[in-house]
Structure 1
Amino acid sequence: MELRHLRYMIAIAEELHFTRAAERLGIAQPPLSQQIKQLETEVGTPLFHRSARAVTLTEAGHAFLPHARDAVDEADRAIAAAQRAARGDMGHLRVGFTSSASFNPLVPGIVRRFGELYPDVTMDLAEQATSQLLDALRDERLDVAFLRATAGERDGLDTVELPAEELWVALPSRHPLATHKRIDLLQLAGEAFVLYPRANGRLLYDTMISACANAGFSPRIAQEAPQMASTVHLVAAGVGVALVPASMCQLHASGVTYVRIAGDVPRAQLWLAWPAHVRLSAAAHNLVALVRQDLGPLRRRLPARDGT
């Protein structure tokens, strides 16, 4: 039994006239009659009473008709679902992001906009360290990830470079430098530092160490914190000072003041990445396309804390 047989039967049942049904279906009447006879042979009983004056449904035809309609409707829904999935209008998307990326307005903004454009795509969001995100991408446990990775770590990945953020200094609010608009990194040479571990993210760690080295000193590391948010909380506890991406300034922790860096300001780079050897799903392709489309406006949304 083929779907066309069901469509033919439904048209005749609605028209109760073979010629009108044939015109509606765009076929000749004799082939239509032949197809209905084939259907009746397969069903094992007539579906229509035929006479010179009228066509009516048999009892078997009345029983068959709603199921035929259900089958055709379900087939149409299946075709529509397949076409929507092929366009990325529905499906499943696994997105990873680093803890610092979750504070960056770019990332939640992209996720929110994607959800508005593609409400039938289910998104699984996973917050992990960059090192874990890299493993998950290569093991195909994630489709895409927002991360901060070195050039070597990005081998085997396709990427979109997102706007880099300035690093700011997070200071205990009672620190003598907390009242300054900007400070030179060299002024922190004698301070204890709270750092994000290199094992969790090489790029961010190396950027911070290099910034201090370029300023003329090597930071004294008092404590490492597994997440950027916990870094800020340790600063609030007076454990030390920290360098944080500008978006972390949204974390208004009591006892912490954020101050801009003077001179050659170090920047934290963010990437959208996905495995180069894997063909992107339609939903993931749409997310990447959205990021590329919005990249210009996104660059202009980075926070400016003091209006400069």
Structure 2
Amino acid sequence: MDTKKLKYFLAVVEAGSITRAAGRIPVAQPALTRQIRLLEEQVGARLLERDRKGVSLTHAGQFLYDHGRRLMAELDSVAKKARAISDGYSDALSIGITTIHSCIPSISNLISRFRAEHPSIRLALESMLSGPQARAIVEGEIDAGILFTEREDDPRLAYLPIARYRMAIVASRRHPLTESLPTELRAFADAPFIRFSRDSTPGSYDRVDRCFHQAGIVPNTVQECHDDITIRSLVAAGMGYAIMPSIMARGENDLVAYELDDLPISSQLMLAWRKGADSKPIDALCRMVCRSA
């Protein structure tokens, strides 16, 4: 299959129309239309339905889009590893790391030890939240990830536990939201709640919601955010509370963590990679995690 035509097809799907895709690439619209038609002839199936609003995928088109994105990511990974070998490395490994890795010594220690023990492997780090990390691993954009998740969250991934942290109410020490030391979620029923958007950490989002439901509370959500740093800053400024791993408040003068009996959930820090991936660098990283357990 011609990768240039496949790239054009992916661009059209993501833009939602041939006209918009032609402007983004950029390429003349008639030429782009012809490339899509040639790809359909090569595949032997209609890939797109066209109407005045733009394009939509046929079943065959959806299949090609899902697998095509993964294929292009894998080709990009192969190219990166080839460049690494050309630069004198034996291999390359791209890892997603949580945006709060600086708060978790085990992550920094693991990365430092891997670099020290495997200097011939070019290591690239991508700072990403857990949800985007999982998607990037599945689609081949990164080789592995260190993220907060549970084994059941994505069956397409293989996991190795690194650490587990209790989830807690994280609030400002300087701007208390309750009059006394809180012992249950109900103490925060009316307080402003700042939370992750669901696409950032879907598994954790749902587990927190179940705790609210069991406590008979509808949280007063005032803000949804996509990253830990923003949430911590808003909480420290007294704009509300968040539910995060209790380690987030460790060593912070402005934050306090309350581990409550009716918030009996924890967050598992995992090394994750795509099932079936055959990678010596990932194997080496797994052995290092096992030694640290």
- TM-score interval for Structure 1 and Structure 2 normalised by the shorter chain: 0.5 to 0.7
Q: Under a length normalisation based on structure 1, what TM-score does the superposition of the two structures give? A: 0.60
Alpha-carbon spacing, 1:264–1:193, altered in 2? closer, same or farther (3 Å): closer
Q: Could you say which residue in structure 2 is the equivalent of 1:294? A: 292
Q: Residue 290 of structure 1 aligns to which amino acid in structure 2?
A: M
In 1, Cα distance between equivalents of 2:218 and 2:161? 29
Cα offset, 1:110, TM superposition: 1.2
Alpha-carbon spacing, 1:119–1:253, altered in 2? closer, same or farther (3 Å): farther
- Of residues 99-108 and 155-164 in structure 1, the stretch that sits farther from structure 2 once superposed is 99-108
Q: Contact between 1:233 and 1:253, CA under 8 Å: does it hold in 2?
A: no
Within 5 Å, which residues of 2 pair with 1:70-109? Answer: 90-109=90-109
Q: Could you say which residue in structure 2 is the equivalent of 1:277? A: 276
Instruction: Kindly provide the CA deviation profile for residues 108-143 of structure 1, in whole angstroms up to 9, marking residues without a partner as x.
Output: 121122122223322100011223212221222211
Q: Could you say which residue in structure 1 is the equivalent of 2:112? A: 112
Structure 1 residues not aligned, in runs of 5+: 1-84, 296-308
In 2, Cα distance between equivalents of 1:267 and 1:96? 21
Cα offset, 1:210, TM superposition: 2.0
Q: Contact between 1:90 and 1:118, CA under 8 Å: does it hold in 2?
A: no
In 2, Cα distance between equivalents of 1:103 and 1:178? 29
In 1, Cα distance between equivalents of 2:230 and 2:253? 10
Q: Under a length normalisation based on structure 2, what TM-score does the superposition of the two structures give? A: 0.63
1:174 counterpart = 2:166: no
Cα offset, 1:152, TM superposition: 5.3
Q: Contact between 1:167 and 1:265, CA under 8 Å: does it hold in 2?
A: yes
Cα offset, 1:248, TM superposition: 1.1
Q: How many residues align?
A: 205
In 2, Cα distance between equivalents of 1:114 and 1:151? 24
Q: Residue 155 of structure 1 aligns to which amino acid in structure 2?
A: P
Q: Could you say which residue in structure 2 is the equivalent of 1:75? A: none
In 2, Cα distance between equivalents of 1:119 and 1:166? 35
Q: Residue 219 of structure 2 aligns to which amino acid in structure 1?
A: P
- The structure with the largest alpha-carbon Rg is 1
Q: Residue 123 of structure 2 aligns to which amino acid in structure 1?
A: M
In 2, Cα distance between equivalents of 1:264 and 1:153? 20
Alpha-carbon spacing, 1:157–1:210, altered in 2? closer, same or farther (3 Å): same
SS in 2 for 1:146: strand
Cα offset, 1:97, TM superposition: 1.7
Alpha-carbon spacing, 1:201–1:101, altered in 2? closer, same or farther (3 Å): farther
SS in 2 for 1:261: coil
Cα offset, 1:200, TM superposition: 1.1
Instruction: Kindly provide the CA deviation profile for residues 200-235 of structure 1, in whole angstroms up to 9, marking residues without a partner as x.
Output: 110121222222223331212110111112111111
